Amino acid sequence: MKIDQIDLAFLHLAASHNDRFNEQDIAGSDLAYLGVGRTLDKLAHLKESNLIQLDGESFRITDAAKKIFWDKDTPLQTRILRLLQVKSFEESDIARYLLEELQLLEKIDDARKQGLLIFTTVKKDEKIIKVCEITQEGNEFLQVQSLDPKSQLEKSLQDISIKIQTSKLDNAKIKEILDKIQRISTELD
């Protein structure tokens, strides 16, 4: 599901207000600039996408929406990358949107070392700021994460096979390892 910056702002508004928001919350937020027509269109889109639900006089974020960015069972690194798929952010904005402080900088650094995100510099208000951007490898990582466990394992086995084929091992050893991987793959079916 594709979430844009405005969708994210509405979902964050709910997540930061005890999982719900109302008309006054919107008026007092960064979303006030949208105007009535665009606000109603976005709310309808979020409701159709099962990201929010009408709950009396307010809107409530759904469990499906919470799982995207705020589910503590989802690894923080995955949630960071999902956020960066929406938009590039400064580290402080990542913490603000994810409602997360603990281990955030460490996870961002780990993701950078793995090549899943990069830092770029941008000039903003006469200052140079550092923002995080997701890389192609980060997008591929999230694609694998979205697969069911069996498909994730099959993908991992394929990646291992490719690395072994391009290794400097002798052909007999490569064949032996690939045969073992093939047996594991066959057992999965």
Strands (E), the chain: 20-21, 52-55, 58-61, 117-124, 127-134
- 148-44-20 Cα angle (round to 5): 75
SS3 29: coil
Instruction: Answer for the pair 51, 67: CB distance below 8 angstroms, yes or no.
Output: no
State if pTM tops 0.85: no
Enter the tokens of residue 70.
């705020």
Tell me the residue type at 139.
N
State percent of the chain over pLDDT 70. Answer: 98
In the predicted structure, residue 149 carries a pLDDT above the cut 80? no
Q: What is the average pLDDT score of the chain?
A: 90
The pLDDT of residue 130 is 93
**Tens of pLDDT along 158-189?**
888 888 888 888 888 888 888 888 888 777 76
The pLDDT of residue 53 is 96
The pLDDT of residue 189 is 67
Among the residue ranges 79-83, 116-120, 165-169, the one predicted with the least confidence is 165-169
In the predicted structure, residue 119 carries a pLDDT above the cut 80? yes
Confidence of residue 98 (pLDDT cuts 50, 70, 90): very high
